[in-house]
């Protein structure tokens, strides 16, 4: 059996159109229409229930049993309400559109912030912590360098001096000279060690407290921000529906296909027609759907993109700080590796002279080198930074691209809400169309009257209007023409 793709598309289109008409109208005659209505209400309420389940499970961190029970009760109540109320079906559809746009933006912003926190900010803290540990390691190494090399070198130097003195003072007949040096160096570094341990402990506590504050703020933002956003969307959606049904003048600047059909009926009945629109009217009234952007839509895009811009700037700042800190630490490490140890020259000289009858007959000079080197920065203590910039830039670029797409969709949100509302409330839509049609025609008539008045005033200020005979003679005089 061969299936015709054209017939399948036509069947699917007809079925979807029928389901849409059943979902948006009040009266249901047959049992099949009632069944289709129940199925469509179940699907719509299921989407809302899934959103509630995810909100209870992740931001509020409720248990799986509590979340499932609450979601099940909510799903049942919303399904029953949608089956019996056209307003609730329209409200649910508009709310899904708004929350899909609003919460989609919030989720993407939250995802970008999470990427920055878990990659860039934690990398910044890790590099700073590594730099502080490097400094502590260097100080501890300097303590060891102070305790061992200089004093051991000085002890060897003093022992050498003692040996030279012992050789230079020979024993006499009267007595002997005993020269003995007992050197025991002592460095009191216990207080310094305690201070270093206290500094390292304070460093660890500070890093842990900063991470705890970041986790607390992020968790609080994840909990409070979605709740406020959903409550605000509920209020704004309810106000929009109320104004659409009660005030035909509210935001009535869109020209839809229904308006075009209404204007065609008016023209066929011999009544004034609104088409074609003038240039100013084309700017004032918006054709639906339209790809161009008006001033109002540009303002809506700007308002929608303000939190996106602020968060994006914050992301750029933290990513820049992360890259800058990494570059500073790498440059510092390279320069410290190039530094040569500090050379401390310690040279002792011994001169012996023999005299006979006051004349120097023998001279002997000895030299001993006790110099040593002190490293300025220990190689084992050099900081080793990490950079997770490439891991964060790719997801942030994808998130930013999706946010730009949502900004473009937000500019057409008023048009989408109008089209959906007209499907549910056709009577109010007809009333709004009639009001808009009458407004266009009344403005045109007023403009014609104002134009006539302006022309009359312009003629009244001219002498030609009051003395037409004189000016006519001047115009007919051939000498003036020549």
Q: What mean pLDDT do residues 111-131 have?
A: 82
Q: What pLDDT was estimated at residue 482? A: 42
346 or 479, higher pLDDT = 346
Q: What is the pTM of this model?
A: 0.58
Instruction: Compute the radius of gyration of the chain from its Cα atoms.
Output: 45
Number of domains in the chain: 1
Q: What is the mean pLDDT of residues 267-288?
A: 83
Query: In this structure, is residue 462 part of a structural domain?
Result: no
The whole domain housing 211 covers 110-169+191-339+376-445
Kindly state whether residue 468 falls inside one of the protein's structural domains: no
Q: What is the pLDDT of residue 27?
A: 67
Q: Does 69 fall in a domain? A: no
- List Cβ neighbours of 251 (8 Å cut-off, separation of 6 or more): 243, 414
Q: Evaluate whether residue 63 is within a structural domain.
A: no
CA dihedral 108, 214, 386, 107 (to 10 degrees): -10
Residue 350 lies in a domain: no
Tell me: pLDDT of 475 over 80.
no
The residues facing 356 across adjacent strands are 359
The confidence band for 360, taking pLDDT boundaries of 50, 70 and 90, is low
Q: In which element (H, E) is residue 359 found?
A: strand 359-369
Which residue, 44, 36, 142, 43, is CA-closest to 88? 44
Residue 228 domain-assigned (yes or no): yes
| Contact criterion met (CB below 8 Å) for 323 and 121 | no
Place of tokens 């790498």: 330
Pairing of strands 342-344, 347-356: unpaired
Lookup result for tokens 């008023």: 414
**Stronger pLDDT, 211 or 317, i.e. the higher one:** 317
- How many Å separate Cα 472 from the centre of its chain? 75
Under DSSP, the state recorded for 18 is H
In this prediction, residues 261-277 reach a mean pLDDT of: 86
Tell me the backbone φ, ψ of residue 361, rounded to 5 degrees: -110, -15
Q: Is 25 domain-assigned?
A: no
Q: Name the band, by pLDDT with cuts 50, 70 and 90, for residue 286.
A: confident
Q: Are 244 and 250 in contact (CB under 8 A)?
A: yes
Residue 424 · residue 90 · CB < 8 Å: yes
Are 424 and 24 contacting, i.e. CB atoms less than 8 angstroms apart? yes
Question: Is 145 part of a structural domain of the chain?
Answer: yes
Q: At what angle do helices 86-115 and 31-57 cross, to 10 degrees?
A: 30
Q: Which residue has the higher pLDDT, 285 or 183?
A: 285
Please report the DSSP string for 439-463 in residue order: HHHHHHHHHHHHHHHHHHHHHHTSH
By three-state DSSP, how is residue 424 classified? helix
What span, in angstroms and rounded, lies between the C-alpha atoms of 126 and 120?
10
Residue 190 CB burial class (10 angstroms; 0-12, 13-18, ≥19): exposed
pLDDT at residue number 173: 42
Query: Quick check: 187 and 146 in contact, CB under 8 A?
Result: yes
Q: In Å, how far from its chain's centre is CA 184?
A: 64
d(CA 49, CA 329): 51
Q: Which of residues 398 and 224 earns the better pLDDT score? A: 398
Of 28-37, 79-88, 414-423, the poorest mean pLDDT is in 28-37
| pLDDT, tens only, 368-410 | 776 767 677 777 888 888 887 777 888 888 888 888 888 888 8
């Amino acid at each position: 059996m061969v299936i015709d793709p054209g017939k399948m598309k036509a069947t699917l289109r007809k079925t979807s159109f029928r389901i849409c008409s059943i979902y948006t109208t009040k009266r249901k005659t047959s049992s099949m229409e009632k069944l289709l209505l129940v199925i469509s209400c179940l699907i719509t309420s299921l989407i809302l229930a899934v959103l509630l389940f995810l909100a209870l499970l992740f931001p509020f961190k409720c248990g799986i049993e509590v979340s499932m029970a609450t979601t099940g009760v909510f799903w049942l109540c919303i399904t029953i309400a949608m089956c019996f109320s056209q307003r609730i079906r329209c409200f649910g559809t508009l709310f899904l559109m708004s929350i899909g746009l609003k919460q989609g933006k919030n989720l993407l912003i939250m995802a970008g912030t999470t990427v920055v926190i878990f990659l860039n900010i934690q990398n910044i803290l890790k590099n700073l912590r590594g730099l502080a540990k490097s400094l502590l390691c260097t100080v501890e190494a300097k303590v060891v360098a102070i305790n061992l090399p200089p004093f051991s070198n000085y002890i060897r130097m003093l022992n050498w001096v003692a040996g030279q003195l012992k050789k230079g003072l020979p024993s006499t007949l009267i007595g002997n000279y005993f020269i003995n040096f007992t050197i025991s160096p002592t460095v009191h570094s216990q207080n310094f060690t305690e201070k270093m341990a206290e500094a390292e402990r304070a460093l660890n506590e500070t890093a842990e407290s900063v991470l705890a504050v970041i986790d607390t703020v992020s968790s609080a933002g994840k909990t409070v921000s979605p709740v406020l956003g959903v409550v605000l969307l509920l209020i704004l959606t309810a106000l929009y529906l109320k104004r659409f049904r009660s005030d035909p003048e509210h935001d009535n600047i869109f020209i839809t296909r229904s308006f075009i059909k209404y204007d065609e009926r008016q023209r066929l009945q011999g009544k004034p027609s609104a088409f074609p629109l003038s240039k100013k009217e084309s700017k004032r009234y918006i054709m639906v759907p339209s790809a161009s952007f008006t001033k109002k839509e540009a303002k809506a895009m700007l308002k929608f993109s303000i939190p996106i811009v602020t968060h994006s700037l914050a992301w750029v700042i933290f990513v820049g700080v992360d890259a800058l800190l990494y570059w500073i630490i790498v440059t510092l490490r390279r320069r410290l590796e190039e530094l040569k140890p500090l050379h401390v020259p310690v040279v002792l000289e011994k001169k012996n002279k023999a005299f006979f009858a006051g004349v120097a007959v023998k001279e002997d000079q000895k030299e001993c080198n006790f110099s040593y080197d002190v490293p300025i920065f220990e190689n084992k203590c050099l900081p080793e930074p990490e950079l997770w910039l490439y891991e964060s830039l790719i997801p942030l670029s994808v998130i930013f691209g999706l946010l730009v797409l949502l900004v473009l969709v937000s500019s057409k949100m008023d048009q989408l809400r109008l089209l959906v509302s007209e499907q549910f409330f056709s009577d109010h839509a007809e009333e709004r169309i009639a009001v808009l049609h009458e407004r266009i025609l009344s403005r045109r008539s007023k403009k014609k009257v104002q134009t006539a008045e302006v022309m009359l005033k312009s003629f009244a200020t001219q002498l030609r209007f009051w003395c037409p005979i004189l000016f006519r003679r001047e115009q007919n005089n051939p000498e003036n023409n020549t």
